Amino acid sequence: MYLIKTEVERAGLPIEIVLMPIIELAYYLFSYSHSMASGLWQFIPSTGKLYGLENNWWYDSRRDVLASTKTAVKYLKNLNKLFNGDWLLAIAAYNSDPGLYKKLLLKINNKVN
């Protein structure tokens, strides 16, 4: 938890981000979902690959605490930018499909305007 807190603070993210792996899976490093998400930060293979996480027969960096935490911080910062600084949307999109949230926001904004 200390390592995650250090990376989150260093990147300037809200400290509550540290709690995401606890809420999601009780810090169980070897968790695996039906969508093939793995590790503390539950990266699916495609997102992991997009952000440079290595995954081969011998090593899965999605399960490496430091590598996956640094990657999660980058991904969350990108999502925060995508959603104009809205951390709630960034966190929600982290757990699903950012494109889906962007489409929903466009629909909502079009109906409001």
Residues forming the active site: 24
Question: From CA 51, how far away is CA 113, in angstroms rounded?
Answer: 36
C-alpha torsion 5→10→65→42, nearest 10: 90
Report the candidate in 88, 45, 52 with the shortest Cα–Cα distance to residue 71: 52
Report the candidate in 74, 75, 60, 71 with the shortest Cα–Cα distance to residue 29: 60
Residue 32 phi, psi (nearest 5): -150, 130
